[in-house]
Structure 1
Amino acid sequence: MISNEDIIKLQLIDGLGRKSISKILSYIYSKNLKLNNFSEIVKLLNSIGIRKVHIDINKIEQEALSVIESCKKAKLKIIGIYDKEYPRKLRIIEDKPLLLYVDGDENLLNQDNNIAIVGTRNPSQQGYEISSIFAEKLTEEQCCIVSGLASGCDEAAHYGCLQANGKTVAVIPSGHLYARKANKVLYNRIILSGGAIVSELPPNLRSQSYTFIDRNRIIAAISDGVIVIEGGQKGGTSHTVRFASSYNKPVAYTISNHLNIVQTSLSNNNIEIIDSFEKLVEFKNKICEKGA
């Protein structure tokens, strides 16, 4: 079986992306190949026609060791696709993360009643308050709030959950060290409250434009439903909604959203409008029933 360390090394090969690595791992698994070290994996890449010039094995092994040491120093867990701890909700999606780096309680990724609250980084005052209040109310209903640790609606959702003494999951588009620098107070409160901060990137990697989209597929996958506070027609929130729809996850908009944004999304029959606590609880109860 390919180890997590070997997957890290594969990810360090220039030009070898997540989908290509997934195909390689599937090939190894289907053929039940026994590969004893990374050099044998590199030979396999050449034998099956994956052309990668100038693979410096020693350099990659040193870089992989650096990643592992950084995780140990930051007390991050590395959970690979073949580990029993790997979240079942991620295992069933097509473009699943190969590795997860987790600070905090990884068990939250597997539990039911995870609800994502997402929205723009620049909400109105009403939108910010709704995000916080809805998160607080859902936490009182025994839900775990999932969001992206960004400013605006995400931040408000995390804080609302913490205000109700709940546990929240933040899925981040960078390595943990950069997320901690960007919002150290919220990061630490999430961990100290028993929550989790998750990334598919090693701790020392910065975010890039595509990693925000990648992050949003994880938010949608580990959640049982998604609530959009403000935004959603374009930008990161729209990607979260699109992923949720493709995973057949219920999506709800709040009344603070513009009507035309909602109308453009009504092609998905799972989309609802939440304009009261009663409808919020109804949405939560429907998710609970679906997950039961």
Structure 2
Amino acid sequence: MDEAFYWLWFLGLEKITAKQKKIMLERFVSPQNIFSISRESLEKTNIFKKENLDYLERSKSLEKARHSMNYMEEQGIRMITREDPLFPEMLKSIYMPPAGLFVKGDVTLLNSSIKIGIVGSRNPTVLGKRYAKAFAQSLAAVGITIVSGLAAGIDGQSHWGSIDELGRTIGVLGTGIDICYPFSNQKLFDRMSKEALIITEFNLGEKPLPYHFPQRNRIISGLSQGVLVIEARKKSGSLITVNHALEQGKNVYVIPGDISASQWAGGNQLLKEGAKLVTDPRDILEDYVIVNNHSELKNAKKTMASKEKIMINIAEQTLYNLIRKGYTTIDELVIYSELPVNTINGLLTMMEIEEVIDIKYGNIVLL
């Protein structure tokens, strides 16, 4: 019998915790051994209560695993266990590492050299959305992979920003890989499964249960060298991710916000406790690459396959994105950017000096 079936069976034991699975693998080495072991032997380990043992006894069938394998092959879904060379080394060292992952998309992103997690509110302000998309786009533009939870709000905006750049983004789900949650992210979910990567430790068909999301947050931070917080309340899932990051010895970055607004209170508190304040993507980049000035960033970008220009300033990034979409007059930029005309004129002048754009007869052209 193919060992993969036993792994699928093992990962699909929904009523056995990650901690119990970890202990079982340490004691019995493989899922096939666990499948074969008697109830009496398991009982002697003192790992399980009676209801766990009853559940394991009822679950000893590979039929569901066979159906799952057929479905995964049809849908282009892979299973990566801790024994697989593709399983990220960074995840092996976290507290309670997942026994395995279900993945769909560009699996090489799991081991990309620099990954930054971005977390924040599910109901962000317009400004929070703008920061998330712009920072993600700027970081992705220099080859950094963005990791987030594919939730509504900041997560989704971060994924959109990075996939619209070089597609370097990983969505960590709190459901089975065959379930999109929330449904409003279906378009993003489908695109990421083809052009980027979605992953989960939860078995096929597992629903978005409340406890799944705090559990998946340790994977977001575990995969990342650092975590950026954008607009988070004092009691939020984002801060759970930050706690995991701190336990894992990762860098924590925060974009500061309105001190009178509860939406920004969690992030502002983290700044008081020592998180790094960032107002520009270069504040993050300097911890991973040597960046002395804007020209070095531009030179680094030219080595990328896309040959596109980097816009680090958030307002410049907004204008750059609009111009790339075909809005090439000042009037159009005023309408769609919601920036004052004098601000736009100043930014366009700087972009022209930096040889990002050229203005010909009132029309703006990307160089």
Instruction: Say yes or no: TM over 0.5.
Output: yes
Flag the 1:111–1:54 CA change in 2: closer, same or farther, 3 A.
closer
| Cα distance between partner residues in 2 of 1:201 and 1:117 | 21
Residue in structure 2 matched with residue 92 of structure 1 by the alignment: 93
Q: With structure 2 as the length reference, what TM-score do the two structures score?
A: 0.69
Which is worse superposed, 178-187 or 97-106? 178-187
Residue in structure 1 matched with residue 187 of structure 2 by the alignment: 185
| Cα distance between partner residues in 2 of 1:235 and 1:137 | 26
Aligned partner of residue 170 in structure 2, secondary structure: strand
Flag the 1:47–1:64 CA change in 2: closer, same or farther, 3 A.
farther
Residue in structure 2 matched with residue 62 of structure 1 by the alignment: 63
Residue in structure 1 matched with residue 126 of structure 2 by the alignment: 125
Which is worse superposed, 3-12 or 137-146? 3-12
Paired residues for 1:1-292 under 5 Å: 3-13=3-13, 15-29=15-29, 38-40=35-37, 44-49=41-46, 50=48, 51=50, 52-53=53-54, 55-56=56-57, 60-179=61-180, 182=183, 183-193=185-195, 195-256=196-257, 258=259, 260-266=265-271, 269=274, 271-275=275-279, 277=280, 280-288=281-289
| Cα distance between partner residues in 2 of 1:37 and 1:248 | 33
| Cα distance between partner residues in 2 of 1:187 and 1:171 | 11
Shift of 1:248: 1.0
Flag the 1:42–1:196 CA change in 2: closer, same or farther, 3 A.
farther
| Cα distance between partner residues in 1 of 2:59 and 2:256 | 56
Aligned partner of residue 180 in structure 2, secondary structure: helix
Structure 2 counterpart of 1:264, which letter?
A: Q
Identity of aligned residues (%): 26
| Residues 25 and 31 in structure 2, CA contact (< 8 A), matched pair in contact too | no
Which is worse superposed, 44-53 or 163-172? 44-53
Shift of 1:272: 0.9
Aligned partner of residue 62 in structure 2, secondary structure: helix
Flag the 1:73–1:244 CA change in 2: closer, same or farther, 3 A.
same
Which is worse superposed, 110-119 or 68-77? 68-77
| Cα distance between partner residues in 1 of 2:86 and 2:232 | 34
| Residues 120 and 231 in structure 1, CA contact (< 8 A), matched pair in contact too | yes
Flag the 1:247–1:37 CA change in 2: closer, same or farther, 3 A.
closer
| Cα distance between partner residues in 2 of 1:72 and 1:46 | 36
Structure 1 counterpart of 2:135, which letter?
A: F
Instruction: For residues 163-215 of structure 1, give each alpha carbon's deviation from its aligned partner in whole angstroms, at most 9, with x where no partner exists.
Output: 2233211111011221178222112222332x100011122111111110111
| Cα distance between partner residues in 2 of 1:37 and 1:219 | 29
Structure 2 counterpart of 1:272, which letter?
A: K
Unpaired runs of 5+ in structure 1?
none
Which is worse superposed, 69-78 or 126-135? 69-78
Shift of 1:240: 0.8
| Cα distance between partner residues in 1 of 2:207 and 2:147 | 21
Shift of 1:246: 0.8
| Residues 7 and 98 in structure 1, CA contact (< 8 A), matched pair in contact too | no
| Cα distance between partner residues in 2 of 1:107 and 1:44 | 40
Structure number with greater CO (CA < 8 Å, separation at least 6) is 1
| Residues 217 and 241 in structure 2, CA contact (< 8 A), matched pair in contact too | yes
| Residues 228 and 237 in structure 1, CA contact (< 8 A), matched pair in contact too | yes
Instruction: For residues 72-121 of structure 1, give each alpha carbon's deviation from its aligned partner in whole angstroms, at most 9, with x where no partner exists.
Output: 22211101112222110101112101110000122211122111111101
Unpaired runs of 5+ in structure 2?
291-367
| Cα distance between partner residues in 2 of 1:88 and 1:54 | 32
Flag the 1:66–1:267 CA change in 2: closer, same or farther, 3 A.
farther
Structure whose alpha-carbon radius of gyration is higher:
2
Flag the 1:14–1:42 CA change in 2: closer, same or farther, 3 A.
farther
| Cα distance between partner residues in 1 of 2:3 and 2:258 | 45
Flag the 1:122–1:69 CA change in 2: closer, same or farther, 3 A.
same
Flag the 1:142–1:257 CA change in 2: closer, same or farther, 3 A.
farther
| Residues 224 and 287 in structure 1, CA contact (< 8 A), matched pair in contact too | no
| Residues 221 and 241 in structure 2, CA contact (< 8 A), matched pair in contact too | yes
Structure 1 counterpart of 2:67, which letter?
A: S
| Cα distance between partner residues in 2 of 1:47 and 1:9 | 22
Flag the 1:248–1:42 CA change in 2: closer, same or farther, 3 A.
same
